[in-house]
Amino acid sequence: MTDSTFPAIVENQAGFTEVSEVLDWLTAEVARFKEQLASTGAVLFRGFPVSSPEDFDAFSAAFGYGDFTYKESLSNAVRINFTPRVFTANEAPPEVEIFLHHEMAQTPLSPEKLFFCCLSAAEEGGATPLCRSDWLYAAFRERHPEWARQFAELGLKYKIQMPAQADADSGQGRSWCSTLSVETVDEAEQRLRTLGYSWRWEEDGSLITTTPAMPAVKQLPDGSESFYNQVLAAHLGWKPVGEDKEEPLTFGDDSAIPGEALVELDRLSKDFVLPLDWQEGDVALVDNHRVMHGRYPFTGSRKRSVVVCLARDV
């Protein structure tokens, strides 16, 4: 199922050629775009003169959301900052698919809004699939009420291995020092205690953490429910953890999630996916609570450069 309003598309009808003109116009119109975002879950701005991380920083700042920096986040991806608010989406290699997820929904700290900006499109592939999680959960609940009830009632636990040193070739390669914003083992353990995580250290210096039970379903302001979690990305993309190859994802009571339920969620999600095929200068604003995103693999000699800015409601 698709909806012509998802994502909403705003084009440069006034023919702005200067960023300063765009910023004046945006500031005047921002309430309208926030309303569009609330009803559609994503708004794509196309054809505007946004060509550098600095332009994009100013464009996203015009919306007046609060900052959510990579440094303070518990994101597992290796990223590179361009400005204090703007960084690479994920440094994972081109052939690696990033499966559908809500940004940082596997941690207690996640941004409410995401801005993406395409500075350079891939030659082939590299689209960002978007998927409405409220539509997905409604369809899943209708077909499989018992599984849907289990997710909603039990929640989820995520198990992650954080390397001692950053590994840019992995979608989850951020070191534990960087992830937890600490420098020592003691500081790491103090931070984990505060977060309610359990953990253990491996011989290679890496750290395996398990979250407390986290909600799998989020109530949205309009009364709908969103499948707000990392289930698809973890099921399809995360490796088994540690020497014992432990499952990276369980229900919140540590019981196993039925494999058929995961297969069905993956199958069903494809009915709701819209690939965002990037053009240079595109800016997409995404409601992270309602819409999942991912990244398709890409090829070609030109570097795909899609940068992000994370934001919180204020």
From the list 128, 172, 133, the residue with the least C-alpha distance to 304 is: 128
CA 38 from centre of chain: 18
- Name residue 292's beta-bridge partners: 131
Instruction: Please identify, using beta-carbon distances, which residue of 161 and 230 lies nearer to Fe ion.
Output: 230
Largest CA distance in the chain: 60
Question: Min. distance of Cβ 152 from Fe ion in angstroms?
Answer: 23
At position 56, the amino acid (one-letter code) is F
Please list the residues that pair with 286 across neighbouring strands: 42, 114
Residue 182 CA to residue 190 CA, distance in Å, equals 10
* Least CB distance to Fe ion at residue 19 (A): 26
Pairwise CA distance, residues 250 & 252, whole Å: 6
Of 150 and 230, nearer to Fe ion (C-beta) is: 230
Burial pattern 215-230, b for ≥16 Cβ within 10 A else e, equals ebbbebeeeebbbbbb
The token duo for 67 is 């900052």
CB-based burial of residue 292 (10 Å sphere; 0-12 exposed, 13-18 middle, 19+ buried)? buried
Measured from the CB of residue 101, what is the shortest distance to Fe ion in angstroms?
A: 6
**Residue 71 Cβ vs Fe ion, minimum distance, rounded to whole Å:** 17
**Binding-site ranges for Fe ion (CB under 5 A):** 103
Closest to Fe ion by CB, 129 vs 163, is: 129
Nearer to Fe ion, 209 or 230 (CB): 230
Kindly state the smallest distance separating residue 77's Cβ from Fe ion, in Å: 7
Rounded Cα distance, 218 and 289, in Å = 8
- Smallest gap, in angstroms, from Cβ of residue 17 to Fe ion? 31
Minimum CB separation of residue 254 from Fe ion in Å reads 26
Nearest position to Fe ion, beta carbon: 103
Nearest-angstrom CA–CA distance, 274 and 56: 23
Count of beta carbons in the 10 Å neighbourhood of residue 2 = 11
By beta-carbon proximity to Fe ion, the closer residue of 217 and 286 is 286
Tell me the C-alpha distance between 129 and 126, whole Å. Answer: 9
Residue 100 or residue 261: which is nearer to Fe ion going by CB? Answer: 100
Token representation of residue 285: 């604003």
